[in-house]
Chain A
Amino acid sequence: MTPKASGIPGRIQERTLIRGGHLIDPANKIDGPRDLLIEGGRVAAVGERLDVNSQAAEIIDASGLIVAPGLVDIHVHLREPGQSYKETIASGTAAAVAGGFTSVAAMPNTVPVNDSAEITHWMQASERGAQARVYPIGAATIGSMGEALTNYEALRDAGAVAVSDDGKPILGDDTMRAVLRAATAAGLSVIQHAEDTRMTGGCSMNAGPLAFRLGLRGMPVEAEAGIVKRDIALLRELKSDRAHLHVAHLSTKKALDHVRAARKIGLHVTCEVTPHHFVLTEEAVGEYDTHAKMNPPLRTTGDRDAMIEGLLDGTIDCIATDHAPHAAHEKEQEFERAPNGITGLETSLGLSLSMLHRQHGMPLTQVLALLSARPAAILGLAAGTLAVGASADVVLFAPETEWRFRANESRSRSRNTPFDGWSLPGHVFLTMRGGEVVYREPSARQG
């Protein structure tokens, strides 16, 4: 389903004027009616009623639409190399731009694991056909086995923006200490999947009365909170202003409280939460719906509400999807045997607008900051801003228009989502990367 409406996707216009929209650029504190002029793939001017000769520029009519920096997702699984039956860099980033994302950071749990400069380069090669910017995250340990460290300088020089063994936590204290020290020396962030796997063997959902009733072994809150607490203690030991720990997909109030406390004493600890962890609760497991199986698991209403509170009060730094495609035959299995994870790139903006803006009154600019400027800042990406001179990564969406997400129309190669059929606000009309239209809503009008 490529956009078939007027206009030629992929064609770079020398000058493009996005006119009549409401521009929200949290990085530059802009929230009002502005035109956006793009020249040579970069932002050339932002202003009210920019006067441009319509012969000399393509005009995109953005009236009634929000014009925002292309969204940034620092936690996705693109499955390449090795598992292209689930997703490819091309299909995953096609889903990204359809969801308004122009930059994604790709986790290293590929096959083989991205623990080398070679794979890091391979992922960024133009032959991959990426629609969005792909920032690889390198494995923190060789093969993500939790033992020998990878070469952080080599990964960094090849383009890796952080190190992580996502999917597998770095359990050993000595290993984690060494990872933090080496990453700090290389100027890289450490992203930890916080799960004490010694407490979660054979578990497939949140521990508690519901898991007991369903006869499923549960992952206790302590399995997440304990590792976050331990990592913070190790970070503190380092006594370096440059050391940075980023907690992936936080899901429990207890772990969030540890992050809050660490911030208070000035440690550089950041964290992300996924849309599913601030929208759904463990009740979504229902009759063993494997589309409600993920790691960390969906938690209780109390934890879900704590995630919303953390987003509202700023303790949670950003929203990340943990986009985790799996083939239908893998999810259509016994609950305990099905793999963890759901897709998320096409529903993240809609779910965030619905839950945070509509239901909890978060200003749009704050929602968009959580989806662009702040995740970009966490990993130091040149993204999430519409400052003059910045790459023209732009998303145009209708903040109120309801659209229905259909899994079978997804651009991802996989369909594993609990949000199939949901009606969401925030219909994406157009996504641009470097001034190039990479997504146009099939029925979108042309200015």
Chain B
Amino acid sequence: MQPHSQEIRSTDRPIPSRSRSLLSTVDLSVPDIAALLQTASFLEKEDPLRRAHRLAKRRVALLFYESSTRTRTSFELAAKGLGADTTLVSALSSSIEKGESLKDTGLTLRALGAECIILRHPNSGAPYLLERVTELPVLNAGDGMHAHPSQALLDLRTILHRLRPKHANTGIDESTLAGITVLITGDILHSRVARSNAELLPRLGARVILCGPEALLPGWAAEMGPGIAVERNFAHAMRSSQVVMMLRIQKERLGGVELNLDEYIANYQLNAARLAENAPRALVMHPGPMIRGLEITSDVADGPQSAVEEQVRHGVAIRTALIARALDALPEGVPA
């Protein structure tokens, strides 16, 4: 019997595409992350006409079971910037509506020549299934409450550019973010962005504080990994943070959770007064979509500390690197 070893589980075949997929930040070592950031910077600066030859006429499919503005558009622009042909399949205008399974949808896209599938899906873990059945590289564009790895990478790039500019393009290691505390506040329970950032950032030396009411942040969130703390007092947490990342309350995933919004706003909204009093120099981030007036006020979202639009721009660079890696088209001279 093998309850304690993986030795002969015949179902555990190594998945050939794993080194080109990105399902979770867990799959990336620190050198992998450093290489991706360097690739992103290289391709961002490259002559657009040259860049557009890298994946000329190759096929990338975007398979979106949930709505998206930023992620979908930036993945699409990234693929097109590399010269790839893209096709978008969304749940409401495809045979998914007729009950076609994820497996069959994936096999269909493969049969149509897709060499990589970018998947957004409401069920945690769906990209693992898609990768297993299609054996294609899969880029996770957000799965349920589980992971949003490209978002965490673009958040990392944003933090580096603002707070560690010397490292932003040259290389990072386990201590690059030492001394930086990233406070993530809001609906942690339903947030794949929070999970991916909480997994990724501590591995580069950052401390992560998760903040929110019990209903949106169970105590055991701190047990996810090292370098993560749970703090209920927003103002208190802000005072020791260099980055304040706000999250939307995901009404579509609330289920039975009862939440008094007035109380939530009173305790956890990021507004100008609270920011000035507790974190006047902190970088303000938000993965979007923002609900202005709920978790964040307009003056803060549009204010000088806000990096919200920069995050979006970094998204294109990161996703360009991820697609180039997925299709084995990494530029020479940049470490793979």
Residues of A within 8 A of B (CB): 201-202, 208-209, 212-217, 279-280, 287-289, 291, 329, 332-337, 350-351, 354-355, 358, 404, 406, 420-425
| Shortest Cβ distance from residue B296 to the other chain A in the assembled complex, whole angstroms | 24
Chain A residues within 8 Å of B121, by CB: 334
**Do B1 and A351 touch across chains, with their CB atoms under 8 A apart?**
yes
| Shortest Cβ distance from residue B212 to the other chain A in the assembled complex, whole angstroms | 13
* CB contact under 8 A between A215 and B192, given known A288-B124, A422-B2: yes
Chain A residues within 8 Å of B1, by CB: 279, 350-351, 354-355, 358, 422-425
**Do B220 and A420 touch across chains, with their CB atoms under 8 A apart?**
no
* CB contact under 8 A between A213 and B123, given known A355-B3, A420-B10: no
CA distance A423 to B145 in the complex (A): 36
Q: Which of B102, B133, B224 contacts A209 (CB 8 A)?
A: B224
Chain B residues within 8 Å of A423, by CB: 1-2, 8
- The chain A residue with its CB closest to the CB of B126 is A334
Where chain A touches its partner, the secondary structure class is loop
Q: Is B47 an interface residue (CB 8 A)?
A: no
Chain B residues within 8 Å of A350, by CB: 1
Q: Is B143 an interface residue (CB 8 A)?
A: yes
* CB contact under 8 A between A215 and B195, given known A334-B121, A337-B123: yes
**Do B147 and A215 touch across chains, with their CB atoms under 8 A apart?**
yes
* CB contact under 8 A between A208 and B220, given known A202-B255, A215-B145, A334-B102: yes
Q: Is B101 an interface residue (CB 8 A)?
A: yes
**Do B146 and A421 touch across chains, with their CB atoms under 8 A apart?**
no
Q: Is B205 an interface residue (CB 8 A)?
A: no
Q: Would you mind naming 10 contact pairs between A and B with Cβ atoms under 8 Å apart?
A: A209-B221, A214-B124, A215-B143, A279-B3, A334-B102, A334-B126, A335-B123, A336-B125, A355-B1, A424-B1
| Shortest Cβ distance from residue A81 to the other chain B in the assembled complex, whole angstroms | 25
**Do A333 and B129 touch across chains, with their CB atoms under 8 A apart?**
yes
Q: Which of A202, A212, A333, A425 contacts B102 (CB 8 A)?
A: A333
**Do B256 and A201 touch across chains, with their CB atoms under 8 A apart?**
yes
Q: Is B42 an interface residue (CB 8 A)?
A: no
Chain A residues within 8 Å of B128, by CB: 287-288
CA distance A217 to B257 in the complex (A): 12
CA distance A425 to B2 in the complex (A): 12
Q: Is B45 an interface residue (CB 8 A)?
A: no
CA distance A422 to B2 in the complex (A): 6
Chain A residues within 8 Å of B2, by CB: 422-423
Chain B 215-242, CB-CB to A under 8 Å as 1, else 0, gives 0001011011100000000000000000
Where chain B touches its partner, the secondary structure class is loop
Chain A residues within 8 Å of B124, by CB: 214-216, 288, 335-336
Q: Is B288 an interface residue (CB 8 A)?
A: no
Among B9, B124, B143, B195, find the residue whose CB has the most chain A CB atoms closer than 10 A. B124
Q: Is B103 an interface residue (CB 8 A)?
A: yes
Among A334, A406, A422, A425, find the residue whose CB has the most chain B CB atoms closer than 10 A. A334
CA distance A424 to B128 in the complex (A): 29
With an 8 Å Cβ cutoff, the count of chain B residues facing the other chain is: 33
Among A215, A291, A420, find the residue whose CB has the most chain B CB atoms closer than 10 A. A215
Identify 17 new A-B residue pairs, CB closer than 8 A, beyond the known A209-B224, A212-B224: A202-B255, A209-B220, A214-B125, A215-B124, A217-B255, A280-B3, A291-B11, A332-B129, A333-B101, A333-B129, A335-B124, A335-B125, A336-B125, A337-B123, A354-B1, A404-B8, A420-B10
Chain B residues within 8 Å of A422, by CB: 1-2, 8-9
Chain A residues within 8 Å of B133, by CB: 332
Chain A residues within 8 Å of B223, by CB: 209, 212
- The chain A residue with its CB closest to the CB of B1 is A354
**Do A420 and B11 touch across chains, with their CB atoms under 8 A apart?**
yes
**Do A212 and B123 touch across chains, with their CB atoms under 8 A apart?**
no
Q: Is B144 an interface residue (CB 8 A)?
A: yes
**Do B3 and A288 touch across chains, with their CB atoms under 8 A apart?**
no
CA distance A209 to B332 in the complex (A): 41
CA distance A213 to B189 in the complex (A): 10
Among A216, A288, A423, find the residue whose CB has the most chain B CB atoms closer than 10 A. A288
CA distance A355 to B2 in the complex (A): 10
Chain B residues within 8 Å of A358, by CB: 1
| Shortest Cβ distance from residue A120 to the other chain B in the assembled complex, whole angstroms | 35
Among B1, B3, B145, B195, find the residue whose CB has the most chain A CB atoms closer than 10 A. B1
Among B123, B126, B256, find the residue whose CB has the most chain A CB atoms closer than 10 A. B123
Chain A residues within 8 Å of B123, by CB: 334-337
Chain A residues within 8 Å of B218, by CB: 212
Chain B residues within 8 Å of A424, by CB: 1
| Shortest Cβ distance from residue B210 to the other chain A in the assembled complex, whole angstroms | 11
Chain B 1-35, CB-CB to A under 8 Å as 1, else 0, gives 11100001111000000000000000000000000
Chain A residues within 8 Å of B224, by CB: 209, 212-213
CA distance A288 to B9 in the complex (A): 16
- The chain A residue with its CB closest to the CB of B222 is A209
| Shortest Cβ distance from residue A308 to the other chain B in the assembled complex, whole angstroms | 11
* CB contact under 8 A between A421 and B125, given known A215-B143, A351-B1: no
CA distance A326 to B145 in the complex (A): 26
CA distance A337 to B11 in the complex (A): 20
Chain B 102-116, CB-CB to A under 8 Å as 1, else 0, gives 110000000000000
**Do A215 and B9 touch across chains, with their CB atoms under 8 A apart?**
no
- The chain A residue with its CB closest to the CB of B133 is A332
6 nearest CB pairs, A to B? A288-B125, A215-B146, A215-B145, A421-B10, A215-B124, A334-B123
| Shortest Cβ distance from residue A258 to the other chain B in the assembled complex, whole angstroms | 24
Chain B residues within 8 Å of A288, by CB: 124-125, 128-129
CA distance A213 to B24 in the complex (A): 11
- The chain B residue with its CB closest to the CB of A350 is B1
* CB contact under 8 A between A421 and B8, given known A215-B144, A335-B123, A355-B1: yes
* CB contact under 8 A between A421 and B11, given known A209-B224, A212-B218, A336-B123: yes
| Shortest Cβ distance from residue B183 to the other chain A in the assembled complex, whole angstroms | 19
CA distance A332 to B130 in the complex (A): 10
| Shortest Cβ distance from residue B164 to the other chain A in the assembled complex, whole angstroms | 27
| Shortest Cβ distance from residue B151 to the other chain A in the assembled complex, whole angstroms | 14
| Shortest Cβ distance from residue B233 to the other chain A in the assembled complex, whole angstroms | 21
Chain B 133-154, CB-CB to A under 8 Å as 1, else 0, gives 1000000000111110000000
Among B3, B101, B145, B255, find the residue whose CB has the most chain A CB atoms closer than 10 A. B3
Chain B residues within 8 Å of A217, by CB: 255
| Shortest Cβ distance from residue A90 to the other chain B in the assembled complex, whole angstroms | 27
| Shortest Cβ distance from residue A319 to the other chain B in the assembled complex, whole angstroms | 15
Chain A residues within 8 Å of B143, by CB: 215
| Shortest Cβ distance from residue A418 to the other chain B in the assembled complex, whole angstroms | 8
CA distance A421 to B101 in the complex (A): 27
Chain A residues within 8 Å of B126, by CB: 334-335
| Shortest Cβ distance from residue A414 to the other chain B in the assembled complex, whole angstroms | 15
| Shortest Cβ distance from residue A273 to the other chain B in the assembled complex, whole angstroms | 15
- The chain B residue with its CB closest to the CB of A417 is B11
CA distance A404 to B7 in the complex (A): 13
- The chain B residue with its CB closest to the CB of A208 is B220
| Shortest Cβ distance from residue B77 to the other chain A in the assembled complex, whole angstroms | 27
- The chain A residue with its CB closest to the CB of B221 is A212
